[in-house]
A and B are shown apart, each in its own frame.
Chain A
Amino acid sequence: MTYTRAEFPIESHSAPFHEVDCQVKSNEAINDEYYLLILNAPPEILDCKPGQFFHLLCPSKDGRSPYLRRPMSIYGYFPDKGELHFLYKAVGEGTRTMAQLEAGERLNVLGPLGSGFTIRDEWQNLLIVARGVGLATLAPLAQEALRKGKNLTAICSARSPEMLMSVERFRALGANVLTVTDSEGTSGVDDLEGLIESRIAQSGVDVFYTCGSNRLLKLLQRLGAKHGIAGEIALEQQMACGIGMCQCCVRSLRRGGEIVYERVCKEGPVFDLQEAMEW
């Protein structure tokens, strides 16, 4: 789904996204690298779609104050509980200051932003393939797919079994979860290809969903083309505004024999798998 400018509801005063200060409910390390942040959020920002993201204004901590906002996928949105969840890896200045947020403190968020994944009615057998923090992006998709009564298989990949996150979350939702790890030597492209081919042979696959990695992109593009399976991928790019104004977040896509550029924050972050290009 893409917006054309003319369709954008500019006369509407009921804004499709909001800038809000939320209170931190909890913010805890779930292993050596990843944190789970839970915010108390007002209902107007919890009307989210799987694959959308928020643009977070990182706090100033220890004299460090990251200037730009940081884009973060929605890991979970729960209108009934009034909660918004993010799963993130502390990699640099912004995410490290986020990791220091304590319960009761406030975090300014802008969102929900971007266009999310599509789940077509005719798709019954869905396959998620994700690694690391990519699982965060795909968790709400799993929830929505299962709510719609789809059959969902999730192949979760990580460096080692301890780094496998969200497996319980996917299982609890009723997904069929397969895990592969580098330390067990099961996450190579050939292994994955075998695993996916056997899913296709056993129960059929109507659509692939993935995010992030070049390796997975290439593999799924190849399998998708071979078997005529649709696919979507969530991409990342450096952002400034997050709402479509600055044009810094573009990615190149192959479309109709041409290379086109689209904004990850607006037309994305979810793109057609076959149109996506390696980077």
Chain B
Amino acid sequence: MVDLAVKIGSVALKNPIMPASGTFTEDLAGVFDLDLLGAHVTKTITPEKRIGNPTPRVCEVQGSMLNSIGIPSKGVDHFVREIVPIYQKFSAPLIVSISGNTMDEFARICEKVSVPGVAAIEVNISCPNIEEDGKAFAMRPSTTLRVMKVLRGATDLPLWAKLTPNTGETPDVARAAESGGADALVVSNTLLSMAIDVKTRKPKLGNLMGGLSGPALKPISLRMAYQCAKSVNIPVIGCGGIETVEDVVEYLIAGASAVQVGTATFVNPTTMPRLIDDLRAWLFAEKFQSVNDLIGSVRDDEAADSVVFMEAAP
């Protein structure tokens, strides 16, 4: 038997496969038993009700997609009252994703979702911060450190910081999140992108720009996951473009302790259970007893530190 169990700090997962925030709801129970998953991660919520962005909210690009859903939210009270109880039927740990426009708002919602039944809080610090001209908290080490300290003060639950690829300072941001009190890093969110219909000359998204997700994002978030794993001592969770077991294995080798699967579920709703089976089979075929023996096993000894932390392509 191959052991698939991993630990993200104090949170034990029976396998390293979980959904990415915003691409998963309990609706997926219509397709497979959700208790197969390592964890459940909910869509980011905000303190107040919000309606989200104008439509079209998605468009296709070659082999991937862009989205500008925004964060439509029924508010935190609705979430704690209606959604958290749904997940109590499952044994998989519940990870709740939150966000706020300001540090204050962020701290307030962090307190409010610290309720029984929640195993950890994923803090989506990739979202715009209106106190900093709409720049995402996780674009800079300084704002990352500040918001993480505030959040750390607001809850006793484990905090997973979700980073953005829209930065040139990944290793510094990762270290700032760690010093601010993050228990794990989720790497990463979507990359700001655009697509235009050449016939109508209109941007294909109602919001003009949106986030790239799917296979095209993978080399970027894999690079970030690798840099983060090299920069911090807390676990890294890889996220971006995962579709096949090779993608999962690549992130684990790069140093991720677990992975999140997003867009691939839209194309094939049974992607996650298939990846769990395929990972077990892959590890068995490669004679691994435990997935933990694979994590961080990248053979990069020759790379100088300067290469590992570079922020521009050579």
Q: Which residues of A contact B (CB under 8 A)?
A: 5-6, 8, 10-13, 15-19, 57, 65-69, 108, 110, 237-251, 261, 266
Contact = CB atoms under 8 A, between A and B. Distances in A.
Given A10-B89, A67-B63, A240-B266, A250 B52 contact: yes
Given A11-B89, A246-B69, A248-B56, 4 more contacts: A10-B34, A67-B63, A243-B269, A246-B266
A250 B31 CA distance: 22
28 contacts: A8-B26, A10-B86, A15-B30, A66-B60, A67-B62, A67-B64, A67-B267, A68-B58, A68-B65, A69-B266, A69-B267, A237-B55, A238-B55, A240-B67, A240-B263, A241-B23, A241-B266, A241-B269, A243-B28, A243-B269, A245-B27, A246-B22, A247-B57, A247-B69, A248-B56, A250-B57, A250-B72, A261-B72
Nearest to A110: B269
B82 interface: yes
A15 to B, nearest CB: 5
B4 interface: no
B91 to A, nearest CB: 13
A5 B26 contact: yes
Given A5-B86, A238-B57, A250-B72, A10 B267 contact: no
Contacts of B33: 13
Interface of B: 22-34, 43, 51-52, 55-65, 67, 69, 72, 82-83, 86, 89, 214, 263, 265-270
A269 B297 CA distance: 48
Contacts, number: 109
Given A68-B65, A250-B57, A245 B24 contact: yes
Nearest to A113: B30
B267 A68 contact: yes
A166 B63 CA distance: 35
B267 A245 contact: no
A248 B55 CA distance: 7
A66 B62 CA distance: 8
Contacts of A108: 268
Contacts of A245: 23-25, 27-28, 265-266
A248 B31 contact: no
Nearest to B74: A5
Nearest to A69: B267
Contact residues of A: prevailing secondary structure: loop
A17 B64 contact: no
Nearest to B62: A67
Contact of B83 (A5, A66, A67, A251): A5
B82 A238 contact: no
B67 A248 contact: yes
A19 to B, nearest CB: 6
Given A5-B86, A246-B69, A16 B30 contact: yes
Q: Among B24, B43, B266, which residue has the most Cβ atoms of chain A within 10 A?
A: B266
Contact of A65 (B28, B61, B63): B63
Given A5-B86, A6-B82, A246-B69, A19 B266 contact: no
Nearest to B262: A246
A127 B163 CA distance: 54
Contacts of A57: 267-268
A30 B162 CA distance: 51
A243 B86 contact: no
Nearest to A251: B55
B58 A67 contact: no
Given A10-B86, A19-B268, A246-B22, A67 B51 contact: no
Contacts of A67: 60-65, 214, 267
Contacts of A15: 30-32
Given A10-B89, A247-B57, A250-B72, A240 B65 contact: yes
Contact of A68 (B25, B86, B266): B266
Contact of A19 (B56, B86, B269): B269
B288 to A, nearest CB: 30
B26 to A, nearest CB: 5
Contacts of A13: 33
Nearest to A57: B267
Nearest to B70: A247
A32 B26 CA distance: 42
Contact of B27 (A66, A69, A238, A243): A243
Contact of A246 (B34, B56, B58, B63): B58
B81 to A, nearest CB: 10
A222 B268 CA distance: 42
Contacts of A261: 51-52, 72
Contact of B26 (A10, A237, A242): A10
A243 B27 CA distance: 7
A250 B55 contact: yes
Closest 9 A/B residue pairs (Cβ): A248-B57, A244-B27, A10-B29, A248-B58, A241-B266, A240-B266, A238-B56, A245-B25, A240-B58
A21 to B, nearest CB: 11
A246 B30 contact: no
